[in-house]
Amino acid sequence: MRLFKNICFYTLVLCLVSGNLTAQEIALIKIDPDRKIDTIDPNIYGAFVEPIRTVVYGNIYDPDSPFADENGFRKDFIDLIKELNIRNVRWPGGNFVSGYNWEDGIGPKDQRPAKLDLAWNQIETNQMGTDEYAKFCSLIGADNFLCINGGTGTLDDARNWVEYCNYEKGTFYSDLRRKYGNEEPFNVKYVGLGNEIDGPWQMGQKSAEDYCKFALEAGKLIALIDEDIKLVASGASLYRPGNEWVDWNEYVLDKMVGKIDYISVHRYATEALPGGRENNVFSDRMSLGLDIDEKIETTHALIKKAMVKSESDRPVYISFDEYSPGFGGMASSLLLAQHLNSFIRHADIVKMANITMITNLTGHSPEGVFKNSLFHTFHLYSNNAIGTALDIYTDGPSYDNEIFNNIPYLDVTAIFNESEKKVILNVVNRHETEAIETKIDLQAGKYTGKATVNVINAENPNARNTIDESPVSVETDQLNFKGNVIKHTFPAHSFTQIEIPVK
């Protein structure tokens, strides 16, 4: 019996030591600029805005704020968000839009009706309407991505809204826009054909069959007004056992391929956690990038199937136009990096993405806005991660949890920016407590031997910035190397972006 106990003890010690060694083994990243996935569409650096609580009224638009400009927009927020180079903004919803009458939000503000918003059980004052959303987009340099009311709305609502936005002049709605002070069209480039219409929480929920009947006709009318508008079908958002979300997407694609340019994916990945959003286990949350990969790859397969069946030559891509990494702490910034890494890894199919909400990319206080951890991560990607996504090889330590097996501690993407002659390497270290030593093998090309390393990290993975303190920030350093091999150690719970100039 004593011998048995000793065997058990040493076996336990061996397991603990082995687990530690696994976490500390040297990882390998192989990068070849000739192994290309596709060009990254800058539209993956988009955002989403919906008038929920203080998202719009307070954080973006607040005529009573000391930070307000002459139009009521928060100048401090506008100035800071412009640094992120956001390419498009999806508005005005969201669940809100499924009960929204867009004509309530135009014309003199003192004549706009206050309405009960059933989506969020609040009063919508309609002080922020179509003209104001379009103005906001112009202020931050973003394209307009309009989502129509596919719930309680009608075909006339959809076509009239687009006419108001994009038709130059000479019609009732285009001249109404001009009368209200906007002589030039808003040039809406993207139109979402409804929001989450499969969801029982949605006003005007529809079956897949009824949705397609509406969306096909709405898309047809919109195209007759402006044939250059890109149309986004409402993909599934109801994820539950039985994979009914797959059935919805399959049906919508079968019916709409050839008539649309994108299908939306909405995924709040914390739904996959054991225990849901209340689960704050760091290793569990750090695995959620794999859930994003899974949703993209499943939808991509359905697109391929529908394209083959339809024989259409009009490509359909994924618009991942609602996702959230959390609300601004260090761990949230790492999950944001994993989302963006997933979009880059799937650059051949994900051509647009919109983070929920645009206001989550900054911190807010009575004294003004400030850079939170999400700001720093998004800034590094949106300003630097441009070019061609590369098909890289990685090998290194991994772990398992209740959701996934073989979760690599390092989540890695690489990009070749040909115009600026550099390789950009993005690495998330998912390990909460241990740094990971890594060999980076540049398999082709000649390099200058110098690289710029940007690191986002904090002592505590739950650290959160305030207007007075910034425990989460970007630290920049230079790295020298010889030949085509870089040796680098990625700190625990960190995001690192390395810019490697090419000769």
pLDDT in tens, 293-348: 999 999 999 999 999 999 999 999 999 999 999 987 999 999 999 999 999 999 99
Instruction: Say how far apart CA 109 and CA 70 lie, in whole Å.
Output: 14
What b/e sequence results for 467-481 when a residue is b if at least 16 CB atoms lie within 10 Å of its CB, and e otherwise? eeebbbebeeeeeeb
The answer to whether 49 and 360 are in contact (CB under 8 A) is no
Which residues have CB under 8 Å from 403's CB, separation 6+? 272, 273, 274, 284, 287, 290, 291
Q: Which residues are catalytic?
A: 196, 322
3-state secondary structure of 406: coil
Structural tokens at position 182: 């906007």
Per-residue confidence (pLDDT) for residue 23, from 0 to 100: 44
Q: Closest Cα to residue 316, out of 383, 249, 374, 373?
A: 249
Rounded percentage of the chain residues whose pLDDT exceeds 70: 95
What does the pLDDT average to over 36-45?
Answer: 98
Contacts of 430 (CB under 8 A, 6+ apart): 283, 286, 287, 334, 407, 408, 409, 410, 411, 493
- DSSP letters, 10-35, are HHHHHHHHHHHHHHHSPEEEEE-TTS
Q: Which of these, 174, 162, 178, lies nearest to 225 by C-alpha position?
A: 162
Indicate yes or no: pTM above 0.85: yes
Q: Could you say which DSSP state residue 113 is in?
A: P
User: Residue for token digits 């890594």?
Assistant: 438
Q: Rounded to whole angstroms, how far apart are CA atoms 130 and 144?
A: 10
AA letter at 50: E
Average pLDDT, integer, range 279-284: 94
Q: Output the six-digit token pair for 210.
A: 């009824």
Query: DSSP state, 182?
Result: -
CB 86 within 8 A of CB 47: yes
- The two tokens of residue 187 are 């040039």
DSSP 3-state of 293: helix
487: which 2 tokens? 């040796």
Instruction: Give how far Cα 22 sits from Cα of 178, 342, 404, 412, 434, Å.
Output: 65, 25, 17, 18, 11
Tell me which of 222 and 17 has the higher pLDDT: 222
How does pLDDT run across 402-445, given as a tens digit for each residue? 999 999 999 999 999 999 999 999 999 999 999 999 999 999 99
Kindly list the structural domains of the chain, giving each domain's residue range(s) and its CATH number in brackets, ordered by start: 25-38+390-501 (2.60.40.1180), 41-384 (3.20.20.80)
pLDDT band at 275 (very low <50, low <70, confident <90, very high): confident
Question: Can you give the length of the chain in residues?
Answer: 503
- For residue 427, the number of C-alpha atoms closer than 13 Å in the C-beta half-sphere is 35
Q: How far apart are CA 31 and CA 250, in angstroms?
A: 35
Q: Which stretches of 88-144 are DSSP H helices? A: 130-140
